[in-house]
A and B are shown apart, each in its own frame.
Chain A
């Protein structure tokens, strides 16, 4: 119950914030941070709970973005429909990638997901209708009241999407699905021997992860008013999602939120004050540090400091 109250408060707060005279740039930057909250949360469903490392975040994110672009360009579809399409395509791709897990583990699965990213990118490069390698300029529709401009609205959309994503991750974690995933993370053979339906669980995790990432990607073309393959399918999304989850802590749904919020905010501040590259460098360095020194992430560190927490 506590969770739902918090969720409602946050949802209302984000709505209120969007109507306040806070500087525009805050919403522009916060949108990106919230995107990474969704991506990290989604990544953790497969990566943290099941132990399958997915390097292919940009593939799902990108297919959502391009699905949205396609619908917007051809039918002028509203944002809600674009997001639904993004989630659907992401989920389908997730299901397809999930089938890969039949025979591939560990690094082989990870490299296979990288392959999916580049193949998706090449497909989009060769599809002139959505811009090809050149890219597509997009004119947003008029923003709906009560929002002052489109970016503020997108901020609220992404905040609510984050809350929804976390709710899904929490459900998965606490249900029998989560228990099954944890079992197969510890030992897939043993889990199978005990009767855990490992394939169904893996497919489920992949589909949910893909769907969430696709939904997160769908508003991106509207956010930038522009889309092109190289930046959409950029591996920087991989390290952001993976980094957020690992640094935050992979065992609990709170981890990716903490990790993505901290990492994302740090990145935005560095981008504005120093440079765009240094922010990716920081993610890389923090990732390596945490993976070596604090594998349980920030949650793990908190647990050590506060022995009687959650």
Chain B
């Protein structure tokens, strides 16, 4: 394998960009699973649904990022409905993270994936934009614009969500419900409505993440299986419920994958996220900034 300092630096840069993209993709899960304890294994599938929705909207001529943003309220409503259904069927009866809750979301993920196959087929889909396919030239290095766009949006998303959760009233209520639900109830707030709202936000964010996914590369319905590992690895590594932790964890995973790609080849890269996940679960299950 050819090795040089330039190559290492380029891989590092790519890893940082990739890592931020992974953060954007996982931040919804940080809220729904990290804060709300919902066993949301269907998170990647909903994100892929967002990618296809972006594909449809963007094929009308709109920019993909704009399409993603426009889809956010639609997915917010979807999230609220899903949580409501989950709550009525499981949480209320006290059997949430058990077999049934997990099986429900797993079944949901499959239904979404197969639904996409039946509607769109197994072919890959891509979107077009001015910034897809061109790159920024910095001396020796060429950085693809699509990665820079994903990087930018990811940072904006992470910081806005962090600010929302710490500065606004509802944001703080969400954090409170994650920490101590009975206390919140005693104070007169309705925890179910707050959790519903939070899950809606998480799903809305996933719509934008889906748009980023289809900008960064082609998507096909089964791609959600690859992202189960990455998203859960990041959320667990971050420590449940920490937004800034998600960014740190995303960067760690992105750089790790980029390095493995360079030193060991493309056939080992898919295992990095899962390997890291097992490592974290074995060594430090509460993650970096866990609560």
B100 with A291: CB separation less than 8 A: yes
A284 CB to closest chain B CB (Å) equals: 4
Residue of B33, B99, B281 touching A112 (CB-CB under 8 A): B281
Dominant secondary structure of chain A at its interface with chain B: helix
Residue of A119, A283, A292 touching B274 (CB-CB under 8 A): A119
CB-defined interface of B110-125 with A at 8 Å, one 1/0 digit per residue? 1100110110000000
State the CA gap A125–B95 with chains docked (Å): 38
Q: Which residues of A contact B114 (CB under 8 A)?
A: 277-278, 280-281, 284
Size class of the contact patch on chain B:
35 or more
A89 CB to closest chain B CB (Å) equals: 19
Number of interface residues of A (CB under 8 A): 44
A122 with B103: CB separation less than 8 A: no
Do A112 and B278 contact each other (CB < 8 Å), given the known contacts A107-B39, A284-B111, A288-B107? yes
State the CA gap A31–B95 with chains docked (Å): 35
What are 7 residue pairs bridging A and B, where the CB atoms are less than 8 Å apart in the complex? A100-B281, A103-B281, A103-B285, A107-B102, A108-B285, A291-B89, A292-B104
Do A114 and B274 contact each other (CB < 8 Å), given the known contacts A107-B41, A246-B99, A281-B118? yes
- Nearest CB in chain A to that of B271: its residue: A122
State the CA gap A281–B114 with chains docked (Å): 6
Give the contacts of A93-111 with B (CB-CB under 8 A).
Answer: 100, 103-104, 106-108, 110-111
Say yes or no for B77: interface residue by CB 8 A criterion.
Answer: no
B285 with A104: CB separation less than 8 A: yes
CB-defined interface of A37-61 with B at 8 Å, one 1/0 digit per residue? 0000000000100010101000000
Q: Which residues of A contact B133 (CB under 8 A)?
A: none
Give the contacts of B241-278 with A (CB-CB under 8 A).
Answer: 267-268, 270-271, 274-275, 277-278
B277 with A53: CB separation less than 8 A: no
B110 with A281: CB separation less than 8 A: yes
Q: Which residues of A contact B281 (CB under 8 A)?
A: 100, 103-104, 108, 112
